[in-house]
Amino acid sequence: MNKEENRHEPPKHRGPMAVGEKAKDFRKSIIRLFKELGSFKVIILVAIILSIFSSVLSIYAPNKLADLADEISFGIFNKMNMDAVTSIVIFLSVLYILSALSNYIQALCMATVSNKFARNLRNSISVKINKLPLKFFDKKRTGDTLSRVTNDVDTIAQSMNQSLSSLVSNVVVLIGSLIMMIITNVVLAGTAVLASMFGFIGMAFILKISQKHFKARQVELGKLNSHIEESYSGLNVVKLYNGKKESIEEFEKLNKKVKEANFKSQFLSGIMMPLMNFIGNFGYVAVCIVGALLAIDGKISLGVIVAFLTYVRLFTTPLSQIAQSFTMLQSCAAASERVFEFLDETEMNDEKEFTKKLDKDKVVGNIEFDKVEFTYDGNDKPTIKNFSAVAKKGEKVAIVGPTGAGKTTMVNLLMKFYDINKGSIKIDGEDISELTRENIHDLFTMVLQDTWLFEGTIKENIIYNQKNVTDKDVVDVCKRIGLDYFIRTLPNGYDSELSDSDTLSIGQKQLLTIARAMLSKTPFLILDEATSNVDTRTEELVQKAMDKLSKDKTSFIIAHRLSTIKNADLILVMKDGNIIEQGNHKELMKKNGFYSELYNSQFEL
C-alpha cells in the first residue's frame, strides 16, 4: 500500500483487537455517548419512567388474565359470575390503554431526544471544522468527513431512538416477569429459565464477534463516500482520460467491502431474533408440558397455567428485544466512536489571550518575512527555509517560481493558515503569532485559483459577508471586469440563483470571485493565479481592474504567466523554498538568471 492510501486508513488501534479490548472500546463509546446526552437527562428520565410504568403494567396484566381464566373455567361447570368477568375486562382494558399511552409518550420523548441530539452533534461538527488546522484536511478525505456528519450521526440518532427506551423496558419486563414466575410457581419458573439459558449463551457469543463488523461497516462506508465525492467533483477529468472503467472498478471494490461488512454485521445480528424466538418457543412448550403434568396432579389451576404461559412469553420476548437493542447499540457505538474521534481532533491554538489587534483602517501596509522556516507534517525536508523579504506600503509584490517552490505555502503562512516553525512574519512591526487569525484575515482580500460559489443569487455571492455594499457598487464592479453583460443575459439578472447544476464556465466563476474581492476594502491583497482561468482579452480587462484595486494596497501576486507581473514593484523568485533572486522585471532580466530563463521559456516554440 502506498503512502497516500495508508494515510487514509483507520488508526492502528482500530484494527483487529482482543475480545477484552473490543468490549472496553465498546463501553468507552457508550459511556461517552451518555455523557454527551447530559443536557437531555430530564426528557430521557421521563421516557425511562414511562417505559418502566408500561412494563409494570404488562407484568401485572397476567394476574388479571389468570383471574379471568379461573372465572371462565368455573363458569363452565357452574353459574358464570358476569359481574366479576365484566370487572376484570374493564380493568384489563384500562390497563392496556394506560400502557399504550405510556408507550406513545415515551416514543415521542425519545424521538425528540434523538433528533435534537443529532442536530447538536452536527452543530458541534460544524463548529469543530472551523477550528481545525489545514493540516487535518491535508490528511483526511472530504468524503470521509462528510460521512461522519451524515451517515454516522444519522446512525446514532436512529439507534438511540430504537434501542435506549426499548432496552430499559425489556430489562424491567425480564426481571419483573422472572420474579412473578417464581412467586407463581417455582417449578415452572425453573423450567422456563433453564430453557432460556441457551438463548443467553448464544446472544453473548454473537455480540462478542459482531462488534468489529459494525465498526468496519462505518469505516468502509466512509471510504465509499470519499470515492463517490472525488469521482463526482472530478467527473470531467474522469471522462477526459477515459477513466470511467477504473473509477467503476474502484467503486465496485469499495462497494463490495461495504456489502461484506454490512452483510456480516446484519447476518450476525439477524441470527439473534430467530435464535431468541426458537428459545422462547422451546421454553413455551416446556412450560406447557410441565404445567399440564402439574395440573393433572391437581397442584395448579387452569388460571395459573394461563398466567404462566403469558409470563413465559413476557420473559422470552424481552430476550430477543434486548438482543436487538444491543445490536443497535453496537452500531451506535461504532458510529459515535467515529464522530467523537473527529470532535476530539487537535484544534488550532486558542487565541483568547491575544489582546493585540490591528485596525484595517489604520494599517500602514508593511510586511516583513524574517528567516521563515516551515515543514509540512510528515515531510522530512522543509518546504520553506530561511525565507526573508520585505514588502512596503502600496507595493505590488510578485512571487514566481517552478511548481512546488513554496509560493502558495508562503501565502498560507502569511494568512496564518499554518503556523511557522522558525522565524517571524510581521505586519506593521507586529508579529502575526501575537495576532488572532480572524484579525489577520480581516486585513486581507484573497482570490484563489480554485473558485468557490455557494447556492444563492449572483448578487449574494459577490457581496458575501461584506457590509454596506449597495446594488450600484455590485453593478459598477461587474462592469469594470466585463461581467455585467453576461449577468444581464440571465433570466433574473443579478438576482439569478446559482447552484451546482448551473453551466457557468470556470472563467465566469473566477470573474465572480474577482468581483467579490474588488468590493472588499482591505489594506492587503493576495492573488493566487487569479486570472489563470480566463481568456487573454478578459485577463487584460481584469488586469486593469486589479491595477486599480491594488492602488494604495500592498499586493502579493502568485503567477505562472510572467507577462502579467511585469509591472510589479518587487518580484521574488523562489526555488526549493527559498528566494534565489529578487528585483523588478527589468533588473531580473538584466541578470540573465533563473527568472530570465523562466520568462523566455514561455515564448519559446
Mean pLDDT of 227-245: 70
Please state, in angstroms and as integers, the Cα–Cα distance from residue 487 to each residue in 112, 479, 511, following that order: 45, 10, 11
Judge whether 128 and 343 are in contact, CB under 8 Å. yes
pLDDT class of 124 with cuts at 50, 70, 90: confident
CA-nearest of 246, 210, 457 to 334 is 210
pLDDT class of 12 with cuts at 50, 70, 90: very low
Mean pLDDT of 383-391: 85
Mean pLDDT of 549-566: 78
Judge whether 547 and 569 are in contact, CB under 8 Å. no
Q: Between 150 and 241, where is the model more confident?
A: 150
CA-nearest of 422, 25, 7, 337 to 155 is 337
Q: Between 39 and 150, where is the model more confident?
A: 150
pLDDT value at residue 66: 59
Which residue bears the cell 502568485?
A: 558
Alpha carbon distance 373, 421 (integer Å): 6
- Per-residue pLDDT tens for 47-77? 777 777 776 766 666 665 555 566 565 555 5
pLDDT class of 16 with cuts at 50, 70, 90: very low
CA-nearest of 166, 253, 268 to 214 is 268
Q: Between 292 and 242, where is the model more confident?
A: 292
Alpha carbon distance 291, 305 (integer Å): 6
Which residue bears the cell 491535508?
A: 138
Alpha carbon distance 379, 358 (integer Å): 34
Judge whether 428 and 364 are in contact, CB under 8 Å. yes
Q: Which CATH architecture has domain 15-343?
A: Up-down Bundle (1.20)
Lowest mean pLDDT among 232-241, 294-303, 577-586: 232-241
On the CB side of 10, how many CA atoms lie within 13 Å of its CA? 18
Write the class of the CATH domain 367-450+523-601.
alpha beta
pLDDT class of 24 with cuts at 50, 70, 90: low
Q: How many helices (H) and strands (E) does the chain have?
A: 20, 12
Handedness of CA 499, 500, 505, 509 (dihedral sign): positive
pLDDT value at residue 565: 80
pLDDT value at residue 575: 83
Q: At residue 430, does pLDDT exceed 80?
A: yes
- Per-residue pLDDT tens for 575-595? 887 888 888 888 888 888 888
pLDDT class of 433 with cuts at 50, 70, 90: confident
Q: At residue 507, does pLDDT exceed 50?
A: yes
Which residue bears the cell 450521526?
A: 153
Mean pLDDT of 190-213: 71
pLDDT value at residue 77: 52
Mean pLDDT of 541-554: 72
- Per-residue pLDDT tens for 106-118? 788 888 888 888 8
DSSP 415: T
Q: What's the predicted TM-score (pTM) here?
A: 0.62
pLDDT class of 6 with cuts at 50, 70, 90: very low
Q: Mean pLDDT highest for which of 13-17, 75-79, 340-344?
A: 340-344
Mean pLDDT over each residue of the chain, to the nearest integer: 77
Run of H or E including 584? none
Q: Between 45 and 476, where is the model more confident?
A: 476
Q: Cell numbers of 485, please? A: 453583460
Alpha carbon distance 571, 523 (integer Å): 20
- In the chain, where the domains are located: 15-343, 367-450+523-601
Residues in the chain: 605
- Per-residue pLDDT tens for 83-104? 666 777 777 777 778 877 877 8
Angle at CA 325, nearest 5°, toward 319 and 327? 105
